[in-house]
Amino acid sequence: MKNAIVGILVLFILGVAGWVASKGGPYNGGEHGKVIADMGSNTTAKTAKVAEKDDRQKEDDKLNALRDKAGNAGAFEVSQAYKSKCASCHGVNGSGFQNGKPMMGPKLFGQNADEIFKKLVDFKAGRKENVVMKGLLMHLEESDLRKFADEIGEFPARAAAAK
């Protein structure tokens, strides 16, 4: 009787072992295999993403180079005041780009004098929020703002004349 019980137990254990084996252990697929496969596909996805980013970076670089070229082609005379007070953030030609990289300040080139003047007055009055611009304009008179605005408004015409 004892032998029979042992025999049944052995059969049962072998059966379970067989079942587990048929489901696949760590070395022949199964859950672990799946996890490893997942990791694999994840890595591929990541590589694809990196490649995509590289492509986008290249596009950006191209665009920046173009912008830069356009900026350089539009090299023209600007006042000493603009050069010393504004060019460091907005570019010598107001393009907002330097060596293909966006600068701290946005593009001013192409906006007309009145638009620029209104924005400057708004910065100074605090209606348009920007700590940098406000601090910068605090010590300037409205007549100075007008001068800067008029000059920046002339940029496209100056660029065209300089070609």
Q: Tell whether residue 92 is a contact of ligand HEC (CB under 6 A).
A: no
- Nearest distance from C-beta of residue 163 to ligand HEC, angstroms: 24
Task: List the one residue from 90, 91, 109, 155 that touches ligand HEC (CB under 6 A).
Answer: 90
How many residues interact with ligand HEC (rule CB under 6 A)?
A: 17
Q: Tell whether residue 110 is a contact of ligand HEC (CB under 6 A).
A: no
- Nearest distance from C-beta of residue 148 to ligand HEC, angstroms: 4
Of 95, 103, 100, 99, the closest CA to residue 76 belongs to 95
* Integer CA distances (angstroms), 154 to 11, 103, 130, 151, in order: 95, 21, 24, 5
Select 30 or 115, whichever has its Cβ closest to ligand HEC: 115
Q: Which of residues 115-144 bind ligand HEC (CB under 6 A)?
A: 116, 119-120, 130, 132-133, 136
- Buried b or exposed e, range 116-138, using 16+ CB within 10 angstroms: bbebbbbbbeeeeeeeebeebbe
Q: Which of residues 46-85 bind ligand HEC (CB under 6 A)?
A: 85
Q: Tell whether residue 113 is a contact of ligand HEC (CB under 6 A).
A: no
Please classify residue 155 by burial: count the beta carbons closer than 10 Å to its beta carbon, then call 0-12 exposed, 13-18 middle and 19+ buried: buried
Separation between Cα atoms, residue 153 and residue 111, nearest integer Å:
6
Residues that bind ligand HEC (CB under 6 A): 85-86, 88-90, 104-106, 108, 116, 119-120, 130, 132-133, 136, 148
